[in-house]
Amino acid sequence: LRSALLLVQILKFLNCFVSDLSGKMFTFPLQTKTDHVKLITSKRNLSAATVCHRSFTDLKRDHNLFSKSTQASPNEFLVFYDYTNKEIEIHLKNQKAEYRSLDYKPNTWHSVCTTWDAGSGLVQLWFNGQPLTRRFVNQSNMTGEPIIILGQEQDSHGGGFDINQSFIGMMTDVHMWDYVLSTCEIQHYVSELSFTPGNVLNWAALDFQINGRVLIENKQMYCQ
Ligand SMILES: *[C@@H]1O[C@H](CO)[C@@H](O)[C@H](O)[C@H]1NC(C)=O
Ligand SMILES: *[C@@H]1O[C@H](CO)[C@@H](O)[C@H](O)[C@H]1NC(C)=O
Ligand SMILES: *[C@@H]1O[C@H](CO)[C@@H](O)[C@H](O)[C@H]1NC(C)=O
Ligand SMILES: *[C@@H]1O[C@H](CO)[C@@H](O)[C@H](O)[C@H]1NC(C)=O
Ligand SMILES: [Ca+2]
């Protein structure tokens, strides 16, 4: 028992634990060019993907929402808010799909789901449960060793952070699947009903490392 406890201590120290973050959120309270959370997955070679997350911020500048890089492509899969153009951009390698006319209110939770399929080349953003126009990007499978980061945007594989693109606020319910979710599944995710958790990243069994001042807190609910 003593050695088991020691092992737990060591694993906690190394921050390499698979945790159930249900009901929790990451709080990014500081503007830095360093603080971030790295999400770890063993999945490689995706021919399709869906990424969903909820975020809350009052930033009046560009910021990263989800940054997945490989050695070959720092923007292999990037969900980015461009403040100048008031748009959410989905970058896939060297191409992007731009989504404007969004009611991206500050100090409000927004759920964002992005689907992509290499076969059809179609990308689609779902903003607070509303499906937006499907766009075409001509990219092949995602291959290679990924680094997935919340809180900072990668200009190089695992680095190249820009303080003016950092995320300040709260994030929760980050999931990634290696297929395109059905309309029903996305609606269940958005409504916080039961859905099949991500098989690439699963918020309820998340393998992650915190770097810097990022806190794990309970989601703030209304007092019942
Ligand atoms: C992923 O793809 C790369 C290159 O296409 C290949 O070398 C590697 O074996 C593949 N890995 C898996 C787990 O399929
Ligand atoms: C992309 O991945 C799918 C599924 O893993 C595989 O069937 C297909 O051959 C891959 N395509 C290329 C061009 O590697
Ligand atoms: C997609 O890219 C491939 C390889 O670069 C090219 O052969 C093909 O014509 C492109 N398809 C479209 C619709 O742009
Ligand atoms: C970040 O933005 C501030 C305010 O616009 C600017 O003064 C500063 O030079 C920028 N820093 C970097 C590293 O781009
Ligand atoms: Ca950047």
Domain definitions of the chain by residue range: 18-218
Q: How many angstroms is it from 137 CA to the middle of ligand 3? A: 10
Residue 16 near residue 207 (C-beta atoms within 8 A): yes
Distance, CA 48 to ligand 3 centroid (Å)?
Answer: 17
What ligand 4 atom has the least distance to the C-alpha of 164? Answer: 1
Number of Cβ within a 10 Å radius of residue 218: 8
pLDDT recorded at residue 186: 98
pLDDT at 223: 76
Q: Name residues contacting ligand 1 (CB within 6 A).
A: 44-45, 143
Residue 202 is predicted with a pLDDT of 98
CATH of 18-218, one of 3.40.190.10, 1.10.443.10, 3.30.413.10, 2.60.120.200: 2.60.120.200
pLDDT value for 15: 55
pLDDT at residue 220, rounded to an integer: 86
- Regions of the chain where pLDDT drops below 50: none
Q: Give the number of whichever ligand sits closest to the CA of residue 140.
A: 2
Of all ligands present, the nearest one to the C-alpha of 146 is 1
pTM as predicted: 0.91
- DSSP-based three-state secondary structure for 173: strand
Percent share of the chain, pLDDT over 90: 90
Ligand 2 center from residue 45 Cα (angstroms): 8
